[in-house]
Amino acid sequence: MDVIVKTLNMIQKKRFTLTHIRRITIYIFLNFLLISLNLNVFSCTVFYIKNDTLVLAGNNEDWKDPFSKMWFYPSANGRYGWIKFGWGSGFPQGGMNDKGLFWDGTAGPYLGMPYSEENKQNYPGPLMQKIIEECACVEEALAIFSRYYCEDQYRAQYLLGDSRFNSIIVEGDNTIPIQDDYLILTNFYQSNPELGGYPCWRYETALEMITRSVDYTEYLVGSILSATHQEGKYPTQYSQIYDLINCRIYLFYYHNYEEFIVIDLKQELTKGYRSYDIPVLFSRIKLLSPDSGRRISSTTVEFIWEGKRGYNYELIYSTDSEFNESTSVYISTNSMPINKSVGAFLILAGLVFIAPSIKCRMYTQRILFFLLLVVLNLGCEKDSIDAEEDKIVIMNETVAGLLPETTYYWKIKSNPVDQIDFQSQTITKSFTSGNPD
């Protein structure tokens, strides 16, 4: 800003040179670049869909902080119970109450609110928390928006949807009601697209998938979330599918749409106030084999999947796609062998310390010490470069005696060894058995 002021002063004094033109051009370019990068940072996707009997919402939360959290707040003092999603700061990023009112938001460029500043009261805290605790539907939320605004609205907008088939987008002084059977929110203002963030490939992708769909289902919502997720420096940290009528949430972690947790909100709220770190609830499962639609050659099959150490796994397979009659095999990763680099480090460390007592020659001690340093360096380097992947292991279980020429369905459930509050599960895959060997 100082550069612009000085430049304008020079224009008035007729001291404007080619150098100054270059400086202000660079300044404008850099600011434009920063604005563009900022919009890419806050690249979340939120949407709401409905038909005659079903109301669903979806959200991708994109950010650089991997330490996401969720909180359960039971109803108290006339306030509705609700679930909050966000980060360690505790500021609410989104959630739903026990009446089926849902919201999430996206960031955007600065948006002035002259009407709100003139006619409304500036609410000192998170306005959406007040709404989610006091409102059962969109109409009640609109009554609060008519009286209050908050600082967040200068650079953020909200999508709200309820279980009564109503939804709105709130962007500064503007309110956009649902017109068809869907609303989509990304990072541009639909009433002011010229402010930035438009066109948006995530918005266009979600719009195309919704409008070409003949049936609204949880699978459609999950497919849209998968198609619009972000990777790279600011990836999708968590995602949700909201069933607003049944107050049910399907929670996904780190854009892995094969593994999810089912949250029955009303049931969970009866257990009192609680908070959870989202990452530890997921074991990063990927189903590897047999893949869906595969035909195996015999009645013996090898199930293969990957996931984190320190979790208990339940392999479930059945000839019934609903798993009403199924067989389970339980696998624990606690007894898995020690990392080879760690074992080598311990062995060499022991030799270094006992070498003097067994009167090894000096050069032998030096060689052992040098090898110890090499192993230690390799271990540290691996941990620093590939720490997350190092926790992932491949597991397998061979099952014999399947029925011949039969379609089977399989999935995995898991939970951390030290907690049983939530058990994640995977999508279902199927295969067809062959004939006995």
| CA pair distance 171, 192, nearest whole angstrom | 9
CB 133 within 8 A of CB 82: yes
Q: What is the pLDDT of residue 305?
A: 97
CATH 2.40.50.140 fits 284-437, yes or no: no
Q: What is the pLDDT of residue 78?
A: 96
CB 202 within 8 A of CB 172: no
Q: Class for domain 45-281, per CATH?
A: alpha beta
Q: SS3 of 120, please?
A: coil
Q: What is the pLDDT of residue 384?
A: 41
* Intra-chain end-to-end CA distance of the chain, in Å: 78
Residue 96 bridge partners (DSSP)? 83, 102
Average of per-residue pLDDT across 70-83 = 98
CB contact set of 174 (below 8 Å; sequence gap of 6+): 189, 191, 192
Q: What is the pLDDT of residues 259-317, one digit of tens each?
A: 999 999 999 999 999 999 999 999 999 999 999 999 999 999 999 999 998 899 999 99
Please give the backbone phi and psi of residue 128, each rounded to the nearest 5 degrees, phi first. Answer: -65, -30
Average of per-residue pLDDT across 211-229 = 97
Whether the per-residue pLDDT at 76 is higher than 80: the answer is yes
| CA pair distance 199, 197, nearest whole angstrom | 6
Whether the per-residue pLDDT at 342 is higher than 80: the answer is no
CB contact set of 67 (below 8 Å; sequence gap of 6+): 87, 88, 277, 279
CB contact set of 96 (below 8 Å; sequence gap of 6+): 82, 83, 102, 103, 132, 242, 244, 247, 249, 265
Select the more confidently predicted residue: 10 or 203: 203
Average pLDDT, the chain: 85
Which two structure tokens, joined as six digits, stand for 165? 């088939």
Q: pLDDT band for position 359 (50/70/90)?
A: low
DSSP 90-116: --EEEEEETTS-EEEEEE-S----HHH
Q: What is the pLDDT of residues 45-55, one digit of tens each?
A: 999 999 999 99
Average of per-residue pLDDT across 32-39 = 39
The alpha helices in 179-331, defined as continuous H runs, are 201-211, 218-228, 265-269
Q: What is the pLDDT of residue 417?
A: 78
Q: pLDDT band for position 42 (50/70/90)?
A: low
What proportion of the chain, given as a percentage, has pLDDT over 90?
Answer: 74
Q: What is the pLDDT of residues 377-419, one digit of tens each?
A: 555 544 443 444 458 999 999 999 999 999 999 999 998 877 7
Q: What is the pLDDT of residue 17?
A: 55
Whether the per-residue pLDDT at 34 is higher than 50: the answer is no
Whether the per-residue pLDDT at 180 is higher than 90: the answer is yes
Handedness of CA 332, 337, 338, 340 (dihedral sign): negative
Q: What is the pLDDT of residue 416?
A: 84
Q: What is the pLDDT of residue 256?
A: 97
Please give the backbone phi and psi of residue 54, each rounded to the nearest 5 degrees, phi first. Answer: -140, 140
Q: Is the model's pTM score more than 0.85?
A: no
Q: What is the pLDDT of residue 421?
A: 87
